[in-house]
Amino acid sequence: MTCGGRPVTGGIEAPGSWRDYGAVDLPAPLRAALEVFVQHGYHGTSVREIAARAGLSVPGLYHHYPSKQSLLQGLLELTMADLLRRSEQAIAEAGDDPLAQFDAVVESLLRFHMYRREQAFVGSTEMRSLDDDYRPRYIGHRVRQQRMVDEIVVAGVASGVFRTVDPKGAARAVATMCVGLSTWYRAGGELGPDELIDRNLEYARAIVGHVSD
């Protein structure tokens, strides 16, 4: 059985399912909003255009989402929920070893920013467009993701696996590298996804000063 392209067993995530990506599964209004936000940006997008892409009238769209801002917020909530779930599952499956956890969370971030590139791109570029009452919640999601990386790097330094003198700074640099993938990655490029992940894992390990055996 699958759910949104992810195998599930009895409502529990199947091992390794954080690596699985099917087609983007969004409600029609959010899918249409995503397409237009990527093309024209939030402020260059009209509700009428989103409604047309979704196959709805403007009143019909407002029945589901009362404003353009609610569309952006709904899209970002689903995006961050998916990202955080995948990262948490990857870390949990890696066990207690900081290096295994580090490789897992970096791979998860890289895969997400390749396979959910457009959603990640909107999340990074349209933070400035968020209403003041929602922005702290969205920032909280991003902080939660960053803390996962921070805690793993700090633990790796404590155990002697990493040698960076600035664990949190190195963790931010690693996360920024992964997030940046959404701005330039294109399917069918010179390197395939797995090759790209392997290469960026090498970069990430270098940033934190991984001590090889």
pLDDT (tens digit per residue) in 39-87: 999 999 999 999 999 999 999 999 999 999 999 999 999 999 999 999 9
d(CA 150, CA 175): 9
CB 186 within 8 A of CB 118: no
Q: What's the CATH fold of domain 72-208? A: Tetracycline Repressor; domain 2 (1.10.357)
Whole-model pTM? 0.89
> What does the CA dihedral 29, 34, 39, 41 come to, rounded to 10 degrees?
100
Instruction: Supply φ then ψ for residue 54, to 5 degrees.
Output: -85, -5
Residue 109 confidence (pLDDT): 97
d(CA 116, CA 172): 20
Beta pairing partners, 7:
2
Distances (CA, A) of 177 to 45, 55, 180: 29, 37, 5
d(CA 36, CA 197): 29
d(CA 116, CA 138): 17
Half-sphere exposure of 188 (CA within 13 A, CB side): 0
Nearest to 13 by CA among 21, 23, 3, 22: 3
Residue 97 confidence (pLDDT): 96
Name the stretches of the chain with pLDDT < 50: 1-11
Residue 10 confidence (pLDDT): 39
Residue 185 confidence (pLDDT): 80
Neighbours of 211 (CB within 10 A): 13
Residue 16 confidence (pLDDT): 84
